[in-house]
Amino acid sequence: MKLNKWTRIAVLTVSALTLAACAHNKRSNQYAVNDANNAYRHGAYAQGLGHESGFGEEGGRMASSKNMYYFDFDSYQVRDADKPAILAKANDLVTNPGKKMMLEGHTDPRGSREYNVGLGERRARSVASLMTSKGVKPSQLVLVSYGSEKPASSGRSEADFQQDRRAALVTSQN
């Protein structure tokens, strides 16, 4: 099949424009990712949570080891051993309806960024679901997923990865 000169030029032009548009969109997305990462590095822990939120001290975190609950690899199921402690936190929120809690979901660095953010969210939601089943109002909980952006350990061993697979409960100062 023989294409005439103008048809070939049109096909090449459309192809070039399509590739240019795809490359521009990829750069725009990368700029958005970079902006989000820069905001995180400079203290914007979660969109919409400023210093007036009552969580932490000017972006500081108050989570302690007693507020950390760990997960198995690629899982968002709360461990049976952690349920009594989480339910105790839920009872505290039920008896103090003005108190709020932020649930942070974290993952180890394996997997894509998108997958890890989703898994971190599922981990936070799993803890939230357990708490709301005991009467905590959803308005008392703020869920945030950091994926693998805030590792607990800088190592690369399985023991280090286990520390990264967690949900952290951060209590409001209110």
Range of the domain at 11: 1-42
The verdict on 80 and 103 lying in the same domain is yes
The verdict on 110 and 67 lying in the same domain is yes
DSSP notation for the chain: ----HHHHHHHHHHHHHHHHHHHHHHHHHHHHHHHHHHHHHTT--STT--GGG-BTTTT-----GGGEEE--TT--PPPGGGHHHHHHHHHHHHH-TT--EEEEEE--S-S-HHHHHHHHHHHHHHHHHHHHTTT--GGGEEEEEEETSS-S----SHHHHHHHSEEEEEEB--
User: Which CATH number does the domain housing residue 136 bear?
Assistant: 3.30.1330.60
The verdict on 161 and 83 lying in the same domain is yes
The verdict on 1 and 81 lying in the same domain is no
pLDDT of residue 77: 97
pLDDT of residue 136: 96
Print pLDDT tens along the chain (174 aa): 555 777 777 767 766 666 666 554 444 444 444 444 444 444 433 333 433 344 443 344 444 446 999 999 999 999 999 999 999 999 999 999 999 999 999 999 999 999 999 999 999 999 999 999 999 999 999 999 999 999 998 888 999 999 999 999 998 755
The verdict on 24 and 88 lying in the same domain is no
The verdict on 74 and 119 lying in the same domain is yes
pLDDT of residue 174: 57
The verdict on 33 and 73 lying in the same domain is no
The verdict on 1 and 62 lying in the same domain is no
